[in-house]
Amino acid sequence: MIFDNIMNASKYYNIDEKIKRGLLFLTNTDLKSLKEGKYIINDDIYVNIEKYKPKSIDNCFCESHKKYIDIQFIIEGEELFGFANLDNINLNPISVYDESKDIIFYDGDCDYLKLKENDFIILDINFAHKPQIATNNCDYVKKAVVKIRK
């Protein structure tokens, strides 16, 4: 897992060519002008632009993916963001893995950080994450979620 501000994105270009491509999309695109929806970068990378009202922590669940790495980037607003390494923490699955949506949900403890405008987090498939948790400082979040085929 990597957490940083987009102004430091170039530090992570050498991790993987697909991650570099996703980060370049985030830095070189006027994301504030993009409407909600799915944007295809290539066969292995797409971006979902989302706008939502953050929820109470009780209404959010940890999730993980098996096929896609996430880069989650806050375009506007802020949210509390939970994360947990699947190898080091005891999370209890509360759903079966949905292969068509590449997602499984969990209940259990995780650590938290605050994602603010221009912050991003890169989550490999060994990390569960709990996004969209409300803070007291904003009414909505606009986010780009880059999905990178593993």
CATH class of domain segment(s) 2-149: mainly beta
CB within 8 Å of 150: residues ≥ 6 apart: 66, 67, 68, 69, 125
Domain ranges of the chain: 2-149
Please give the Cα distance from 90 to 78 (Å, whole number): 27
In the three-class reduction of DSSP (H, G, I as helix; E, B as strand; rest coil), residue 45 is classed as strand
Please give the Cα distance from 54 to 79 (Å, whole number): 7
Residue 87: the pLDDT is 84
Q: What is the pLDDT of residues 39-49, one digit of tens each?
A: 999 999 999 99
Q: What is the pLDDT of residues 69-103, one digit of tens each?
A: 999 999 999 999 999 999 877 789 999 999 999 99
Please give the Cα distance from 125 to 110 (Å, whole number): 16
